[in-house]
A and B are shown apart, each in its own frame.
Chain A
Amino acid sequence: MPLIETDAIVLNSLKLGEADKLVTFYSPTLGKIKAVARGARKVKNKYGSSLEPFTHGHLVIYDKKPQVLYRLFQSDIIESFQRVRSDYDKIMTTSHFSLFIEALSPEGDPSVPVFNLFLKLLEYTKVFEASPGLINLFKVKFLGYAGYELLLDRCVKCQSSFPSMRFSPSLGGMVCSPCIPDNALYSVAISPAVQSVLKQTFKMDPGLISRIRPSEEVNKEISHILEVFIFHILGKKFPSLETTSK
């Protein structure tokens, strides 16, 4: 059985059987992985608090191919992010983002930028409270890294650039009105202010996007764009931040 070492962030941790845990991690080298931590719920266990959600740790795992689940052998805390888990609202927003990454990341498809993005959010949340607007920008940034960057400059069908284009979730970008015959294609308008915030977010270093302070109106529009785009990607509705934290 080959042993693998990797850094990872705990996305989710569920009870498994009587005393075990099924932990979902995001690793910069392995992507989203699920590992079984045997005996993790017993008083005396070798994992300690390292499997609490949002913990940044260093793992040693067994690859049990052809089985999909890894077996966790050891995990050491690099940063516990306990302060994120000590505040109700911080728990809610971070859980929401964690579920978002979990839902949109296919298993075993690693991305260093996605890993660093979550780490940046955790570092920010340790000190400040991430507003719903900032969470939206982190989601936008994630989409860019995951290959879903919105193409905002040109019509994705004819490559021309018109001022009054609309966003099509199924095409993943803007379309001009001649390319939307008889409104057969579902599309939403994106205001110039929102377009500029989105472009800025895609370009910016993830450590700096907390500096963008979108207005409430802009944020509402981004929420709606994310909602319809993610519905298209997942084929189902992803619960809003308000429902996660109600």
Chain B
Amino acid sequence: MVTVMELYQLLPRTNCKKCGESTCMAFAVALLGRKKNVAECTPLLEANFKPQKEKLESLLLPTAGAEETGLIVHPELCTGCGNCVVACPVDVANDPHGAGMGCAPTNEKVIFKVVDGKVMASNIKECRRFGKSKVLCYACIDPCPTGAIEFV
């Protein structure tokens, strides 16, 4: 998956602030977090930056499949083991006697569900990585045996 550094390398790196961010690095972070669009860096629209702009757009393309908050499940890697279902603190809190105990989720408030042998994410707005009191939670990424979950 693309990193902040990769994005940064492709920017004009002049820190001109036209994008509304104080530095190019800050803009790169915002790009990765889907808070800004490539087009907001107006210097990039100039002809001599065309290859960089196209590269940036292609790097950011996979997120078309991402949920609004940037959580991506790669279904081809997922084994459907359910580790993430049980380990996600939101699932435990919202379904303590189902998902939290390793059983099938008993309500629709959980984030992860296994459908046809692969995980599907919903209710992503509940994820602890987002919202006002966000924390950098790794509880679904760490237990995944195949690296099928990613945040972009």
A and B part of one assembly: no
Interface residues of chain B, those whose CB is within 8 Å of chain A, are none
Interface residues of chain A, those whose CB is within 8 Å of chain B, are none
